[in-house]
Structure 1
Amino acid sequence: MDFKAYGLRLVACSLLISFLSACGVYSFTGTNIDPSVKTISILTFANNANNGPSFLAQRFTEDFKDYFQRNTTLRQAPRDGDLQFEGQIIAYDFAPAAIQQTGGQDQAGVNRLTIQVRVKFTNTKDSKQDFEQTFQSTRDFPATRDIASINNDPVALREVFRNIITDAFNKSVANW
């Protein structure tokens, strides 16, 4: 056994561990959460979109909570968490995105669902990280799909939600 090579490896590993711990909290999910932050509260997002389905606020809020539960070790609190989220769904629009002519008539070639959510984030441990921002996501659907079929398709809505939630996650705890 080469003790000199073993010693160099041991020193290199020690330096790497020291460097990572000196840089703050690192997580393989990409979060950068201060160790003093232990809880998160996510209030129900209000549905202020004129044409959004009635279940939209509840489903979005549950998906938001689930995402943070899966990707952080923070304990969820009903209110007054170290990190706090609240907001409202401000737009839910379903409209033609590509018009094509068929038999001399204009028809939608693709329909686009657009959802906008206003998110207010408060970090009680570091107010410099607080923000209020609107996040938006869109998804195109074949013209043969109407809004009722999309509202009854949880996978379609969750994809749009996931994009918004990921953006809010990255801005709040991943510091991107």
Structure 2
Amino acid sequence: MILSKRFWVNSWLLCCSFILVSSCAINYSFSGVNIDYDKVKSFSVENFFNDSGGGPANMEQLFTESLKDFYQRNTRLELVRTNGDLQFSGAINRYNITPQATVTTTDPNLPDRAGQMRLTIGIEVEYANTVEEEESFKRTFSFFKDYDPRTTSILQVESVLIEEIFESILQDIFTATVANW
């Protein structure tokens, strides 16, 4: 009897919670999206440009398509060519490979070498929210990944590093625009 009573109480609480959450005007999901889909229905992404002077030739296209895919996977917004309710544009403005740690050799005839190298990518994003204009901004998002040049060259790991960096930057952009954390 006690088990049966707990079951009904828990079921009732779960039902009430579902009704309360589903009746809210702003839709929230476990992916962190905080969008009023009654007002915001679409997004558009202009082609990003590579103003960094580095990186592979298709990097700007890869980022542009990744941004579109990320929002399509994580929201119910419709991708439109231009004039979306949420609009994204910008450029890759940083692509640097810098040494992070030095390895000193014991041989005086050999120079010291970098023990770790860091690939850093920065992307300037101009975000226009046509529904809530005060949420619009222009900001640079940046992230890095390290690799060991003693065991691998940048050409061997570049595409993987870029993909991982883009994923982190996309998550930061998403959080800044529609997750409202």
TM-score calculated relative to the size of structure 1: 0.88
Instruction: Tell me the distance in 2 between the aligned counterparts of 1:28 and 1:52.
Output: 35
Equivalent of 2:126, from 120, 131, 135?
120
Q: Does 1:167 align with 2:172?
A: yes
What is the aligned-residue identity percentage?
A: 37
Label 1:106 to 1:26 Cα distance change in 2 as closer, same or farther (>3 A): same
Tell me the alpha carbon deviations over residues 28-59 of structure 1, each in whole angstroms, 9 at most, x when there is no partner. Answer: 21100112211110111110002222211011
Letter in 2 for 1:173: V
- 1:52 paired to 2:55: yes
Q: Render the CA deviation track for 1:58-98: whole Å, top value 9, x for unaligned.
A: 11111111111111111111110111111110000012111
Structure 1 residue aligned with 2:66: 63
1:12 Cα offset (Å): 3.0
Residue 149 of structure 2, aligned match among 139, 143, 156: 143
Kindly state the Cα deviation for residue 146 of structure 1 after the two structures are TM-superposed. Answer: 2.8
1:83 maps to 2:67 = no
CA displacement at 1:6 relative to structure 2 = 7.5
Aligned-pair RMSD on alpha carbons?
2.2
State the secondary structure of the residue aligned to 1:96. strand
Segments of 5+ residues of structure 2 without an aligned counterpart are none
Pairing 1:16–2:17 present = yes
Q: What is residue 106 of structure 1 aligned with on the other side? A: 112
Q: 1:131 aligned to 2:137?
A: yes
Ranges in structure 1 where 5+ consecutive residues have no aligned partner: none
Deviations 1:118-148 (A, max 9, x none): 1111111111211111111100011133333
**Higher mean C-alpha displacement, 98-107 vs 115-124:** 98-107
Give the match for residue 94 of structure 1: 97
Amino acid at match of 2:18: I
Contact 2:25 2:36 in 1 (8 A): no
Q: TM-score, normalised by structure 2?
A: 0.86
Please give the alpha-carbon distance, in whole angstroms, between the structure 1 residues aligned to 2:76 and 2:118. 35
When the two structures are aligned, how many residues end up with a matched partner? Answer: 174
